[in-house]
Structure 1
Amino acid sequence: MLIGVMHSRRDPNTVSRIYTLAAVAKLEGVDLFYFSPSQIDFTNKKIYGYYYEEEWKQKEFPYPDIVINTSRMKTEKQKKNKLRLGKEVPFTESKIHNKEYINNLLQKHPVFKNYLPDSIVVRTIKQVIKFVDKHSKAVLKPSVGSKGKRVIFIIKEGNQYSIYKDGKEEIVRNLKHTLSRLDLTEYILQQFIVSETKAGLPADFRVHTQKDSSGKYVIVSVYPRISERKYRVSNISQGGYSAHINYYLKNQFNDDWRVIHNKLKFLGLQISEYLDEHYNNKLNQLGVDICIDEDNKLNIIEVNWRPGLHVLFSSNVNHIKNLIKYCIYRVNKSNDLL
């Protein structure tokens, strides 16, 4: 069995996890090589990649049985080659639709709909003003996007509005002028849920799931994401920070911490299984973002199809073991169907 790992960087020495992937693959008795999209020979169905043997060495490989495609491609040519290869070789990860589509899908579920904050697809400025007047606090999020970029918080206080974008505050009396600068068709509008630490900092939770050696969803990690200031997204990539989940929950919820932890894991797994079924069991890793309001109610914020692996915790090796074993499961299952 041959597993390929596709990454935007050409040199495997610049990728931190690739050595661990190669080591785990060897322990599982499968071959693994590393490559970037520019090294694919589509005409001859060959890839000039790297394999590890005391050091990274290069040679020509046939198309692999499966490709680990967790890396984001950087250039248009890389993206084009990735799409082309994906038509010929199975990938571990499959893309899901935008936030609007996933929100509508969850809204159709009899249980999940109760965990969703009020949200609408934005088309006009009038819609935004009416929504903010109703909820007092709202957040505009790009329908397509990740890592908390281009997120705008709108807070109504009396007859004026506070707008928070990229960590900066703007106070206005009339929203029309500010909103006229945006292409609202690119956004969804969501009720802002107050989810804070005891110190008053915004916080939410990432529940990272993936499939195991039998194709079943398991928990990779659950961790809090805490913002450094109010009305700023809590993504780690946007300056937020984290803590060990048990320590954090004990500090925040006292004797209820185990119940909260189990609820987070259960909801993350259930959502992953539900979405995977909708996508014909082609999904693998998912990141389910959940916040907890002042009444300890869980709220589903969004779902991401390629969640970043949190480097603080011991989940790294287990995550890689599951990933390699899932590759073996996928290839064996495919061979059984032949």
Structure 2
Amino acid sequence: MIIGFMRNHVTPTYVAKLTSLLSKSQGIDVIYMRPADVNVASGTVKGKIYIDNKWTPIETELPVFIDISPYCFKKKNIQIIQYLRENTFLSDDRKNTLNKRMLQNKLLEDQRFSHLVIPTTKIEGDFARIEEFTHKYGKIVLKPIFGERGKGVYILKKKSKSYKLGINTHEERLNYDELKDFFETSLKNKGYIMQKYIASRTMHGHPFDCRVHVEKDGRGKWVVARSFIRIGIGQKVISNVNQGGGIADLKPFLEANFGEKKGTIEKKINHLASTLPYKIEELRNTHIMSLGMDVAIDENGKLYLFEVNGAPTTAPLKAEAVMLRTEYYKFILENIITDNLKKENEQFKAKYEIIEQQKNQFEKRYNDIKKSRSWLVTKPIRILGSALKRFK
């Protein structure tokens, strides 16, 4: 059985190679492909398959399942993506996606998850709203609604007669007019939200968060691939390791920074990992294979949800993520897709039986007509009509 592994890279990545090797142990061949490799007209794809330690070109029918990166869902690929949605099973069809603000609002409505919500509001065209929000909470975070990987995230703090604005490792002091200019040029109508600042910092004062990376397993259930701490060493805003920082294992970090609270915090994180992914699927009303949940932990051990990433990096957990994904591939092929084929086969059988019934009814009616008196009386006329046609 062949499945697709769709990414935007021209050259297959190391993760693609590792996925291919592990999938072979499950009896599954992986074809590496890009959106442009799909031929909508013929229902085929051109890709690469890993054979004898090298990627070999191949053309085949559209795979019944495709592990697709959310980054493939670009405007230029819209026709291909729609075709894939209608003709194959995608690891995430990206329907009903939730931005940061929508997710916070939805979770706020659910008592099971409302405690995770950080006070959030959208930045509109009025600068006064930022003033009010900053005055209320003292310190706030400004971030793009559709942003990822910590890009464009600022921290704003109200001082007595001025403001402090920080991004990455840079921080500057602004007066009222300078902040207003910053709002007009960088935030207004740019799709930003503002949140209450949560003091999630190490004992040395560095910002951190906990990335809870979950994957579907061989039973189609959510499990933790790895929970780890991301520390933004020297940063002013968030624990963005892409901008400089480090990663720590969860247990030793909690022990060093929270002491006796470590056990309670770990239980909270594990509970979140086993419940929130199902809520996300419920809200989106679709199936998902992979999620990265970014969680803040304040000094009292309370958890807050920063955001949920539908395309979490696998760099810190390549082996764990790939192993779980290959098990999930097998589950999909043996259960979901097999069930769908059975349903299609049953539907075909039902339609065939209806056609057979209709055929039998028509034959019966035809035989009844042939045996009828009117049919027998008009037989000579029909024979004469046929003879005349032959002489024309």
Contiguous gaps of at least 5 residues in structure 2: 345-392
Q: Of 223, 238, 241, which aligns to 2:243?
A: 238
Find the counterpart in structure 2 of residue 278 from structure 1: 283
C-alpha separation in 2, matches of 1:336 and 1:253: 53
Find the counterpart in structure 2 of residue 159 from structure 1: 161
CA contact (8 A) 2:206 2:234 kept: yes
C-alpha separation in 2, matches of 1:195 and 1:202: 6
Alignment of 1:17-166 (within 5 A): 17-54=15-52, 55-70=54-69, 72-73=71-72, 77-78=76-77, 81-95=80-94, 96-123=97-124, 124-166=126-168
C-alpha separation in 2, matches of 1:56 and 1:169: 47
CA contact (8 A) 2:168 2:236 kept: no
Structure with more helix by fraction = 2
Equivalent pairs, count: 336
C-alpha separation in 1, matches of 2:251 and 2:128: 44
Alignment of 1:187-266 (within 5 A): 187-266=192-271
C-alpha separation in 2, matches of 1:32 and 1:308: 20
Q: What's the offset of the Cα at 1:179?
A: 1.0
C-alpha separation in 1, matches of 2:44 and 2:318: 37
Larger Rg: 2
CA contact (8 A) 1:272 1:286 kept: yes
| Letter of the structure 2 residue corresponding to residue 46 of structure 1 | T
CA RMSD of aligned residues (A): 2.1
C-alpha separation in 2, matches of 1:105 and 1:333: 32
CA contact (8 A) 1:8 1:78 kept: no
Q: What's the offset of the Cα at 1:192?
A: 0.6
Q: What's the offset of the Cα at 1:309?
A: 1.4
C-alpha separation in 1, matches of 2:254 and 2:318: 16
C-alpha separation in 2, matches of 1:322 and 1:261: 26
Pair 1:145–1:330, CA change in 2 (3 A): farther
Deviates more, 1:312-321 or 1:220-229: 312-321
Q: Deviations over 1:100-130 (max 9, x none)?
A: 1111111111121122121112212111110
Q: Of 180, 183, 187, which aligns to 2:184?
A: 180
Pair 1:333–1:188, CA change in 2 (3 A): farther
C-alpha separation in 2, matches of 1:250 and 1:32: 42
Q: Deviations over 1:9-36 (max 9, x none)?
A: 2232xx0111221122211122321112
C-alpha separation in 1, matches of 2:336 and 2:245: 36
Q: What's the offset of the Cα at 1:203?
A: 0.6
CA contact (8 A) 2:216 2:325 kept: no
Contiguous gaps of at least 5 residues in structure 1: none
CA contact (8 A) 1:2 1:30 kept: yes
Q: What's the offset of the Cα at 1:280?
A: 2.4
CA contact (8 A) 2:232 2:246 kept: yes
C-alpha separation in 2, matches of 1:236 and 1:80: 35
C-alpha separation in 1, matches of 2:227 and 2:6: 26
Q: What's the offset of the Cα at 1:64?
A: 0.3
Q: What's the offset of the Cα at 1:292?
A: 0.7
C-alpha separation in 1, matches of 2:9 and 2:77: 10
Structure with the larger RCO, 1 or 2 (CA within 8 Å, 6+ apart): 1
Find the counterpart in structure 2 of residue 306 from structure 1: 311
CA contact (8 A) 2:2 2:63 kept: yes
Q: Deviations over 1:43-88 (max 9, x none)?
A: 1111111112212211211000011012624975456534543343
Pair 1:277–1:149, CA change in 2 (3 A): same
Structure 1 length-normalised TM: 0.92
C-alpha separation in 2, matches of 1:101 and 1:166: 26
C-alpha separation in 1, matches of 2:23 and 2:337: 14
Identity %: 26
| Letter of the structure 1 residue corresponding to residue 89 of structure 2 | P
Q: What's the offset of the Cα at 1:169?
A: 1.7
Pair 1:324–1:238, CA change in 2 (3 A): farther
Pair 1:272–1:116, CA change in 2 (3 A): same
Pair 1:59–1:225, CA change in 2 (3 A): same
